[in-house]
Amino acid sequence: MNNALTLDGFYLPPPIKAQTFTNLKFGPIEIRMPILTATTLSDVVNHLLAAQERFLANQSTATLIDIVNTAVANWMKPNDPFRKMAEETLPPITGLSPAMIHLGLNRMLEGYRKDALLKVLAIEIGNIDRLDHFCPTSEPSYRWTRAIGPRITTSVLSGNIPALGAVELIATLLTKSAWLCKVSSEEPLFAPLFIQSLVQVEPRLAYCLAAVWWPGGNPKSPSLEEIAFGRSELVTATGTDEAVKSVHFATNEFGSVATRYIGYGHRVSLGLIGRESLDDLKSVAQRAAMDLAMYDQRGCLSPHVFYVETGGSFFPRQFAKSLAHELSRIEKVLPRGAVDTPTSARIHQIRSVAEIRQADGEEVIVFGSETGTLWTVIYEADPTFILSPLYRTVRVKPITDLARVFPLLDAWRPYLQSAGIAVPNSRLVSLAEGLARAGFNRITAVGRMQEPPPGWAQDGRHFIADRIRWVDLEMP
Amino acid sequence: MPVHPNIIYDEVLDFIRKPTESGFEPLALKVFAHQFVHNPSYGNYCRSRHKTPESVASWREIPAVPTDAFKEIDLACGPAERVFYTSGTSQGRVKRGKHSIPKLEIYRESALLNFSAHLLPDLPKLKILILAGSPALWPESSLSHMIDLVSREFGNEDVSWFMTEQGLDTDRLAASLSENCDRSSPVILLGVTLAFYRFLEYARSQKISFRLPPGSRIMDTGGFKGRKIQISNIELYRQYEDVFGIPETHVVNEYGMTEMCSQFYDNVLIEWMNGTSRPRHKRVPPWVRTLILEPDSLEELPPGTIGILRHYDLANCGSVLALQTEDVGRTKLDGFEITGRLAGSESRGCSLLVEDLFRSQ
């Protein structure tokens, strides 16, 4: 990209137009954001409500799945204009490398196809027709049920992982809800792009979706938050604990007691390598390295620590060395993106502290990229769970038995997200049981940590079922 | 050839008293050779980086220790006369940094000379009011020790500490300020920025303000360190002027850390004395060098470019001379300015300590 490019980081349902704008700068790209007035936002909500009643509420779930399926299929085409725009602009906006954006978009979206969505709905709702009309239950003569989505869902998005907004939007559409999305100032572009791609498939969706922005923090835009959260039937928020709490607070303040709220705050993940899986050291290290490298470790599914069991055919420190080697290989094909100054400084601190402990005779080994902070593996005997500064920085810790990890994670219980495990099937169930009780809500194989299937229980929530309201029809 | 620690300490003391431009490098290399031998953890660290007194030819090549290392290892070159601790964070999950000082006299000399140069360029002594905890209240705090030294040396009568176990004693401070408004000679307020901020809020709620005598001054330190308080320095200094009657030219910010014996001060009062008005920046004492490094490669940056700060402090001759911080800034005139977050939050953490006190009120 040679010249400065100005793009819109918002989407307003026609005919609503914003009057004034502010620009956010991301290197060569400027993103135009509307400065919303309460009147404009109120208009937006009125239009969304009307369009939901007029159009969305009357579509069959099958039709909506087809629309999503077509849009996602388009995104998988290399020449799709929205895809091209995203691939061109997301690297400078997010700091992730172009190769990472390319892979990330594929991974994030490709699962949301018709078959997968039908399966998710079947699991969560049982009979998918319940989203369209009353259906008999197992006692048909007595009670029929119907699943109704919110009229409007407001989603506050975070900016750490691009394309997360697509998942939120797909869930919203499947509940026949209009969508008001507050984009993140860190990555305001993807949500409006995805909305436009859906509108291209089904033009009538143009009136059902909106992406806006206002300065965060509840005291700053009370009138906007009153409209957005007060008039939604479901509010969802992804982001830092602080941001998510602030949305929760505002939802309580401005919504009714019936307003639902789903918050996805800070989460941490880690990997557990059983001694048996060290037999194929290279394979397990490769898979662990991919879990770590994906999205430069910025997601809540990214591992902070790998605990490696002693007593296998290799020592845990050999796993650390092998992991470092794989990270250096990944760097060549999937380069680490840009890092801000405080994070670089933090990674250097962590590396040098580990080096000085190593020099002081502690059982610590540092493996790091020769230049800069591209990747860092710190092997240390101290088993304490420690947060990583991310951007491909990880600790490898030996442990005599994986079950000994549970007490180490006690303090982290509210934050535990995914555990990537590499153990033989004979140990799987008992380890999983322990992890579930420790607070994790997703247990998967090392190497698949960054590929949650559609409809996965993010933060312990159902993808669709937590968004809907059940209606009973009691037969006379 | 290593020499007896006392010889090195005396040389450093002499240098702090009578610094020369050309004298810094040879003394820095001598201190490095001393630390290489007498601080085995550091010596091994240098060896692992293939840096030895034989191979290091310039102070710039002396391996820097990350400030976080003070949380893990005792980096003293000998038995400590005094140990300072960082205050840690409110979650209690982070280990505390520990700085052992084998020769307090050096700390004292550096602190007093630097303080008087930047806060008392015009006066030998004045009345001192302190918005920080006394050594009895904060026994492990280097800031408290430093202020105590300063107040004993430069305070011209009883020194008043306004921080109590219950937090800042705003009523007593207000009463004292009121009395001091009638004086003819200037006073100085020393303390942590958060305590000043607390008093500004108090003054606003009580609708009170003070006109302290001309020449009165403020030394604040610590900033807000990642706290939710969002106030620009311009606004903060405007409020200082409104509430204390002390103009921005007389507000000197201090930047320091537990891991470092010397401090940095703003140039403003010196400028005012000289009748000049160059922009505010931190001045580097002659026994200290500060480098601004590219954050990823750690290469030295051209002047004016933002990077991370590394300090070489001869007064740290009893622990480690070269300190790698996480503080972000750039060179400015003959010093530097901090532009990014003050990662010193964890290093010194006094402001956190104060805020915890406020919370418990």
Predicted confidence (pLDDT) per residue in A368-412, tens digit: 999 899 999 999 999 999 999 999 999 999 999 999 999 999 999
Tokens of A475: 């037969």
- Please indicate whether, in this complex, the C-beta atoms of A357 and B72 are within 8 angstroms of each other: yes
Check: CB of residue A163 under 8 Å from CB of residue A189. Answer: no
Domain boundaries, chain B: 5-79+288-325, 105-287+342-359
Question: Under an 8 A CB cutoff, do A348 and B328 touch?
Answer: no
Q: pLDDT tens digits for A253-287?
A: 999 999 999 999 889 999 999 999 999 999 999 99
In B, which residues are within 8 Å of A344 by CB distance?
295-296, 308
B322 close to B60: Cβ distance less than 8 angstroms? no
Out of B73, B93, B295, closest to residue A344 by CB: B295
Q: Is A342 on the interface with B (CB under 8 A)?
A: yes
Contacts of A381 (CB under 8 A, 6+ apart): A362, A363, A364, A397, A398
Inter-residue contact B361 to B167 (CB < 8 Å): yes
- Which residue of A353, A364, A382 to mutate against B (max B Cβ within 10 Å)? A353
Which among A264, A231, A269, A265 has a CA at the least distance from the CA of A250?
A231
Angle among Cα A71, A77, A78 to the nearest 5 degrees reads: 135
Contacts of A372 in chain B (CB under 8 A): 296-297
Mutate to test the interface with A, among B326, B328, B341 (most CBs of A within 10 A): B326
Specify whether A116 is located in the same domain as A13. yes
In a domain, A375, yes or no: yes
Dihedral sign for Cα B173, B178, B182, B184, please: positive
- Judging contacts by C-beta atoms under 8 Å, the chain B residues touching residue A375 are none
Q: How many domains does chain A have?
A: 2
Q: Is A475 contained in some domain?
A: no
Determine whether the interchain pair A411/B93 forms a contact, defined as Cβ–Cβ distance below 8 Å. yes
Q: Domain check: are A339 and A371 in the same one? A: yes
Q: What is the DSSP letter of B4?
A: -
Residue A198 burial (C-beta neighbours within 10 Å; 0-12, 13-18, 19+): buried
- How far is CA A225 from each of CA A221, A246, A255, A256, rounded to the nearest angstrom? 6, 11, 10, 13
Give yes or no for residue B208 having a pLDDT over 60: yes
pLDDT the model gives residue B311: 98
Peptide bond into A28 cis (omega under 30): no
Question: Concatenated DSSP letters for B46-105?
Answer: HHHTT--TTT--SGGGSPPEEGGGGGTS---SS--SEEEE----TTS-SPPPEEEES-HH
User: How far away is chain B from the Cα of A359, in angstroms, using its nearest Cα?
Assistant: 5
In the predicted model, is pLDDT for residue B146 greater than 60?
yes
Cβ pair A112, A76 in contact under 8 A? no
A384 C-beta neighbours (distance < 10 Å), count: 12
Q: How far apart are CA A187 and CA A331, in angstroms?
A: 24
Question: Which residues of chain A are within 8 Å of residue B324 when distances are taken between CB atoms?
Answer: 348-349, 352
Cα of A97 to nearest chain B Cα, Å: 17
Inspect the interface and report whether the beta carbons of B308 and A372 lie closer than 8 Å: no
Contact at CB, A361 and B44, closer than 8 angstroms:
yes
Instruction: Using the Cα atoms of residue A12, residue A16, residue A22 and residue A27 in order, give the sign of their dihedral.
Output: positive
First to last CA, chain B: 56
- Put simply, the answer to whether B67 touches A349 (Cβ < 8 Å) is yes
Contacts of A339 in chain B (CB under 8 A): 295-296
User: Are B66 and A353 inside 8 Å of each other by CB?
Assistant: yes
Whether residues A72 and A162 share a domain: the answer is yes
How many Cβ pairs within 8 Å bridge chains A and B? 77
- Contact in structure between A291 and A446 (CB atoms under 8 Å): yes
pLDDT number for residue B94 = 62
- Average pLDDT of every residue of chain B: 90
* Residue A139 pLDDT: 74
Helix/strand number for chain B, H first, E second: 11, 16
The CATH number of residue A211's host domain is 3.40.605.10
| CA atoms within 13 A of residue A294's CA, in its CB half-sphere | 25
Assigned domain for A455 exists: no
Say how far apart CA A216 and CA A134 lie, in whole Å.
40
pLDDT digits (tens, 9 = 90+) for B255-275: 999 999 999 999 999 999 999
A385: nearest CA partner in chain B: B93
Q: Give residues 345 to 374 of A whose Cβ lies within 8 Å of B.
A: 345-346, 348-350, 352-353, 355-361, 371-373
- Domain boundary pick from A266, A296, A323: A266
Structure tokens at A48: 């969304």
Q: Do residue A344 and residue B44 have CB atoms under 8 angstroms apart?
A: no
| Domain presence at residue A394 | yes
Q: Is the pLDDT of residue A60 over 70?
A: yes
Q: How far is B308 from chain A (nearest CA, A)?
A: 7
User: From the CA of A348, how many Å to the nearest CA of chain B?
Assistant: 8
Cβ–Cβ of A359/B308 closer than 8 Å? no
pLDDT tens digits for B298-350?
999 999 999 999 999 999 999 999 999 999 999 999 899 998 755 443 333 34
* Helices vs strands, H then E, count in chain A: 14, 18
Is 3.40.50.980 the CATH number for B105-287+342-359? yes
Determine the pLDDT at residue A456. 86
- A359/B47 Cβ within 8 A: yes
Strands A20-26, A303-309: pairing is unpaired
A167 phi and psi angles, rounded to 5 deg? -65, -45
Instruction: Determine whether the interchain pair A344/B72 forms a contact, defined as Cβ–Cβ distance below 8 Å.
Output: no
What's A357's domain CATH number? 3.40.309.10
DSSP B330: E
Which tens digit of pLDDT belongs to each residue from B213-258? 999 999 999 887 656 677 889 999 999 999 999 999 999 999 999 9
User: Does A327 score more than 50 pLDDT?
Assistant: yes
pLDDT at A1 over 50: no
* Residue in this structure with the two tokens 């219950």, named with its chain if needed: B166
Domain that holds residue A179: 5-266
Backbone angles phi, psi at A212, to 5 degrees: -135, 180
Instruction: Give the mean model confidence (pLDDT) for residues A127-155.
Output: 91
Candidates A242, A340, A360, A365, partner chain B, best to mutate (most B CBs within 10 A): A360
* Chain A environment of B42 (Cβ under 8 Å): 356
Does A372 contact B73 at a Cβ distance shorter than 8 Å?
no
Per residue in B2-14, pLDDT (tens digit) is 567 789 999 999 9
Closest-CA distance of chain A to residue B195, Å: 24
Q: Is B52 left (phi over 0), alpha (psi -120 to 50) or beta?
A: beta
- Determine the distance in angstroms separating the CA of B210 from the nearest CA of chain A, rounded to an integer: 31
How many C-beta atoms surround the C-beta of residue A182 within 10 A? 25
Do residue A260 and residue A291 come from a single domain?
A: no
Query: What are the residue ranges of helices labelled H in B156-262?
Result: 170-180, 193-206, 233-244
Chain A positions touching B93 (Cβ under 8 A) are: 411
Helices A61-75 and A98-110: angle between axes, nearest 10 degrees? 160
Our CA-based measurement puts residue B87 at a distance from the nearest CA of chain A, in whole angstroms, of 19
- The interface predicted TM-score of the complex, written ipTM, equals 0.85
Only one residue has tokens 């033009």, namely: A203
Model pTM score: 0.89
- Domain edge (last residue) among A201, A235, A266: A266
Does residue A377 share a domain with residue A231?
A: no
**Main-chain dihedrals φ then ψ at residue B127, nearest 5 degrees:** -80, 130
Answer yes or no: do A245 and A274 share one domain: no
pLDDT band at A140 (very low <50, low <70, confident <90, very high): low
* A281 and A302 part of one domain: yes
**CA B13, CA B31: separation in Å to the nearest integer?**
12
- How far apart, in Å, are the Cα atoms of A392 and each of A188, A197, A270, A343, B153? 24, 32, 13, 11, 51
Report how far residue B53's alpha carbon sits from residue B58's, in angstroms, rounded to the nearest whole number: 10
CB contact under 8 A, B44 and A341: no
Same domain, A333 and A422: yes
With CB atoms and an 8 Å threshold, state whether B308 touches A344. yes
Residue at A209 is within a domain = yes
Residues A220 and A130 in one domain: yes
CA distance A369 to chain B (A): 11
Considering only CB atoms, B41 lies closest to which of A344, A359, A371, namely A359
Q: What H or E segment, with its residue span, contains residue A227?
A: helix A222-230
- How far A365 CA lies from chain B's nearest CA (Å)? 12
Q: Is residue A466 part of a domain?
A: no
A359 and B67 in contact by Cβ < 8 A?
no
Residue B193: burial class (beta carbons within 10 Å; 0-12, 13-18, 19+): buried
Confidence category of residue A457, pLDDT binned at 50, 70, 90: confident
| pLDDT computed for residue A152 by the predictor | 97
Average pLDDT for A226-254: 92
Q: Phi first, then psi: what are they for A473, rounded to 5°? A: -115, 110
Question: Are residues B307 and A341, on separate chains, in Cβ contact within 8 Å?
Answer: yes
Please state the length of chain B.
361
Residues A145 and A293 in one domain: no
* Contact by Cβ (8 Å): A359, A376: no
Kindly determine whether residue A344 and residue B340, on different chains, have CB atoms separated by under 8 Å: no
Residue A228 and residue A250: Cα distance in Å, rounded? 10
Residue contact B48–A358, C-beta within 8 A: yes
Is A344 part of the contact surface with chain B (CB cutoff 8 Å)? Answer: yes
DSSP codes, B231-275: --HHHHHHHHHHHH---GGGEEEEE--TT-S--EEESHHHHHHHT
* Shared-domain flag, residues A226 and A329: no
